[in-house]
Structure 1
Amino acid sequence: MGHFITFEGPEGSGKTTVISRVHEALSEKYETMATREPGGIAISEKIRELLLSKDNDMDARTEALLFAAARRQHLVEKVLPALDAGKIVLCDRFIDSSIAYQGIARGIGADGVMDINRFAIEDHIPDLTIYLKLDPEIGLHRIESNKRDHNRLDAEKINFHKDVVLGYNELSENYPCRIKIVDADQSPEKVTRDALEIINQYLDQGVNQS
């Protein structure tokens, strides 16, 4: 069985860059696969377009259900087969994103979002989660500076993004053994090194216990 490692954080926290660099580093020693949510496979990428398009104004519960649907298909079609093959799966977002964004920031509640996602993911929870912690104002400034196309979530008011971070902070406090914090207000090189240190420590422990 492989290892399921997820990366979480607010908009502009640098997940895409860090995952790419971590993937490159780990691939020198392990069989590794990088993927993302929502997306990663054809059906989930189509759902991603619906979710992130600024043309689509949707109900919070509809949003949560679509994320869960994309997650389910991605899990069974791509993630689980890779884990069964013994790969390390690096995933940009998973269930913690739904709890932070829809559960806390949208006001549905963490329990409500968990109920939806228990049906979608059954008992599949990440082995390790790297939380790239960042002030939301810094993250949004990065997005502006990089001239990245704004999606529907980027365009939310600052209070929404602050609530997302509050949600992540609460999750990291509730699940300290799984969710490890990395300060994302550093250079990409330093963030990558910090993330790799945590991941390698986790992998080494797994080897020593086997």
Structure 2
Amino acid sequence: MNILSPKFISIEGTEGVGKTTAIDGFCQKLSSQGIAHIRTREPGGSKLAECLREILLSNKSDIDDDTELLLMFAARSDHVHKVILPALADGKWVVCDRFIDSTVAYQGFGRYGGNPSKLAKIQYLIDGFVPRLPDVTFWLDLDPVIGIQRAGKRSVADRFESNDSSFFYRTYQGFIHQHQHHAHRIHRIHANQSPNDIVSDMIRHINQTDKS
């Protein structure tokens, strides 16, 4: 991997796909090659965004769909300007657990059912308030049924994880939509592989991108 070219990497997927494990392995590879990097997440990543994360994920929060979307972008704006852009300017790689593609998938499809006018509004917010997109996005693709089963074995479900299966099917369609429309940026990885194979796929794609 090219150490002299800091990259903004996002990792995406529905619940239970193994993002945390994949990010663990990917960051270990960066460290082993002496590549300075930060690990962050959405919603969250900055002090304000973490406060908004608590509201967004709390089962006690009574938030309508439009408010949820705007809170996501408020958190993202602070995160980008306070954490992501400064890290990249400092020559560090940024590895982010979720970014704009999750917004399209979870809000655009999960909440709004892929409504074209709503998707257009989300794109307007992306164009207007997201000054830097990821260089590479890894979409961990897994049947949502399997993902839900995996997620169900974890701790108490948060506000998003508590949605019914139809929500996650719609969300999955959102990731398919993003991959179809942004194949140059989004690299699809089959998430039913071993964690080591997933990380190897990620590293291989980065190396190929550097050479192209």
TM over 0.5: yes
Identity %: 38
State how far apart, in whole Å, the 2-side matches of 1:52 and 1:199 are. Answer: 32
1:208 paired residue number:
none
Q: Deviations over 1:185-206 (max 9, x none)?
A: 122222222222212322344x
2:125 paired residue number:
116
Letter in 2 for 1:90: V
Matched-pair contact (CA < 8 Å) for 1:69–1:120: no
State how far apart, in whole Å, the 2-side matches of 1:2 and 1:56 are. Answer: 37
Shift of 1:120: 2.3
Does residue 150 (structure 1) correspond to residue 157 (structure 2)? The answer is yes
Of 141, 145, 149, which residue of structure 2 is paired with 1:137? 145
1:92 paired residue number:
97
SS at match of 2:32: coil
2:133 paired residue number:
125
Does residue 102 (structure 1) correspond to residue 107 (structure 2)? The answer is yes
State how far apart, in whole Å, the 2-side matches of 1:190 and 1:112 are. Answer: 37
State how far apart, in whole Å, the 2-side matches of 1:118 and 1:176 are. Answer: 18
Shift of 1:2: 2.3
Q: CA RMSD in A?
A: 1.4
Letter in 2 for 1:161: F
SS at match of 1:24: helix
Of 41, 48, 58, which residue of structure 2 is paired with 1:43? 48
Matched-pair contact (CA < 8 Å) for 1:103–1:112: no
Q: Which runs of 5+ in 1 are unaligned?
A: 206-210
Where in structure 1 do 4 or more consecutive aligned residues deviate above 3 Å? none
Q: Which runs of 5+ in 2 are unaligned?
A: none
Shift of 1:116: 2.4
Which TM-score applies when normalising by structure 2?
Answer: 0.91
State how far apart, in whole Å, the 1-side matches of 2:86 and 2:173 are. Answer: 33
SS at match of 1:71: helix
State how far apart, in whole Å, the 2-side matches of 1:80 and 1:49 are. Answer: 23
SS at match of 1:27: helix
2:9 paired residue number:
5
What is the 5 A alignment of 1:3-82? 3-29=7-33, 30-82=35-87
Shift of 1:154: 0.5
State how far apart, in whole Å, the 2-side matches of 1:20 and 1:120 are. Answer: 29
State how far apart, in whole Å, the 1-side matches of 2:97 and 2:207 are. Answer: 18
